[in-house]
Structure 1
């Protein structure tokens, strides 16, 4: 669907190591600050255990998972908004993403000094927030200037826009992120064209040492406490360990090493599912003997919208959707049984597709 999450953080926090855990494109890692010259782009499969449960009831030749696109943005530093490190170019890359994964260094290493001289992930959140707030402030101030000219020409809508922009400016001046303002659609339309950085949804990944993979450590605990009440998701992942495990050849070996670390699945799996949700995405399924496929849709899609995800002809010629709920199908065990028990529903053009729905689209073109 063309939606993208950006992985950000200060330099040498383990962003690229995390990226390499799941990406189909392996990127080079380095112990040197600002060694990367460009952002890395990769596509990752979104792990969904429901696919395997569906296959148990509907034998199928293959499973096709949904994907999410991840942009690994090289490390930033204090002063990035003024071009420090490799700042301006990569802040521009971040502007083009739809959501943010902020990776925080929560491990000690004598061989990898922190650019700020000590390990303090809460301070690192404040540094990155400030850099993004400054860039947003620049954008908002420029638009205020444009609207002031329109107001002089008698544009009433521009006058309302200035009021909204001044409120946003005051929020940024107070070192607050725009996403905490709760802007209405009517207010947001005045800044929709700016691709503001601090309005993007965000989640935090605490990159910990191997021993802290299961329960975290004092650094990740400090992050959780600092973000308490914000509604932000915080995940704990030992990126170096997981990147090494991901290189193992067999699934059996990978699961054995994860089990030794006290994990039932890779932490990056949880991160990818969370990133998918952060982008406001949901999944519906189509099932059959040739393939079971997960399809990506935005929350709130109608049945014809979902049909269009499969093929534009299905949306254009949409007649109806035959819908089974995932839990009904898993419990009852087959499409025929669902039909016999009244659990296969016929839905029209106004039906809002829910996460996990199993669809069969009837159409005519």
Structure 2
């Protein structure tokens, strides 16, 4: 829930508040979801050639690549180095009719319900040895299938809420207490959202007021979650940067969900790359194929789509990236480290990363007058290197 005194220009974000957010891998069966998950997380989830091979969701964490973190590790030479992480969950394939329980639909939809964002994997390769659940490869149809099922599930959930509350709202009449007016307002918002989704729109694409977002966030709606589209192409197409399905997918996204990102990748290429024993072997294979892994970009975009960013603490013992939501205040950022630091926070010493890198070290940066002192209510920025000064007797550096 947002603070009671919300700044007029502060926009509440759709979705669950917090820093430990998760992104789910979603798509039809046999599009390469588990292959993608196995390679990106170095996990061992079954990836066999039949629908519903994955039934229970698998979860893993991947480090968020950041050259700033790498530079700090070299600069401070600390023995402990902890990057930021993105939690990824592999969710079994949806099929047409999932919202009505087809396949293992209700269970899978509940798994999507538990994540905060979506990696939507779309099949953009042909392979006679890998069956397609609907026969032939048709990315546009596949995209429609997934989005229709998510919208149908949201519509059903909103209708359930409306049906359960409509009589009580009607009995309240036109007057009532402040609490009654609040309940009527929430009900009207839910009806508005239901009508929007039932008309074929995703919640995340609507224009909502802060009050409406507050109410929407009380319901775990599937189409409110941010989506990044991942097109799984053949290794050959990935290397030559050409695929006949990509224009179709891009056109569908631009027409239906403008602004969403599309990232091509090759499950075959990434699997081969991940299986190699060391960085040198991977670099040689990538050069041989004329391609680079898409995973750094995918991880970074997914992290950003969840409105996450990270700041750093750095010292002789540890360099660490801490995840927080964009727009977080210093107290909220400090709470990631320790509640006592946040509760007794006095001020924060801030080094802008670019300033620190240009200066070369903290001593020279301070001599240049570029060490900033910020209050506990200031907004922390992506990449800030911070030292929290608190009244608990210790500060995190």
Normalising to structure 1: TM-score of the pair?
A: 0.95
Equivalent residue for 1:225?
Answer: 251
Query: In the alignment, is residue 159 of structure 1 matched against residue 187 of structure 2?
Result: no
CA distance in 2, matches of 1:158, 1:317: 37
Query: In the alignment, is residue 28 of structure 1 matched against residue 46 of structure 2?
Result: yes
CA distance in 1, matches of 2:315, 2:187: 55
Unaligned stretches of 5+ residues in structure 2: 1-18, 173-179, 393-397
Equivalent residue for 1:284?
Answer: 311
CA deviation string 1:25-62 (max 9, x = no partner):
32111101122221111111112122222233332224
Alignment of 1:191-340 (within 5 A): 191-214=216-239, 215-228=241-254, 230-264=258-292, 266-340=293-367
CA distance in 2, matches of 1:51, 1:173: 45
Equivalent residue for 2:89?
Answer: 71
For residue 126 of structure 1, the aligned residue among 144, 148, 151 is: 144
Range with bigger deviation, 213-222 or 64-73: 213-222
Checking the alignment, whether the CA contact within 8 Å between 2:351 and 2:385 is kept in structure 1 is yes
Checking the alignment, whether the CA contact within 8 Å between 1:24 and 1:43 is kept in structure 2 is no
Aligned length: 364
Identify if the C-alpha distance between structure 1 residues 260 and 228 changes in structure 2 by more than 3 Å, giving closer, same or farther: farther
Unaligned stretches of 5+ residues in structure 1: none
Does the residue aligned with 1:44 lie in a helix, a strand or coil?
A: strand
Does the residue aligned with 1:228 lie in a helix, a strand or coil?
A: helix
Does the residue aligned with 1:85 lie in a helix, a strand or coil?
A: coil
Range with bigger deviation, 333-342 or 178-187: 178-187
C-alpha displacement at 1:176, in angstroms?
1.5
For residue 389 of structure 2, the aligned residue among 337, 345, 362 is: 362
For residue 150 of structure 1, the aligned residue among 168, 176, 189 is: 168
CA deviation string 1:37-95 (max 9, x = no partner):
21111111112122222233332224211111111100111111111112110101111
Checking the alignment, whether the CA contact within 8 Å between 1:213 and 1:261 is kept in structure 2 is no
C-alpha displacement at 1:248, in angstroms?
1.1
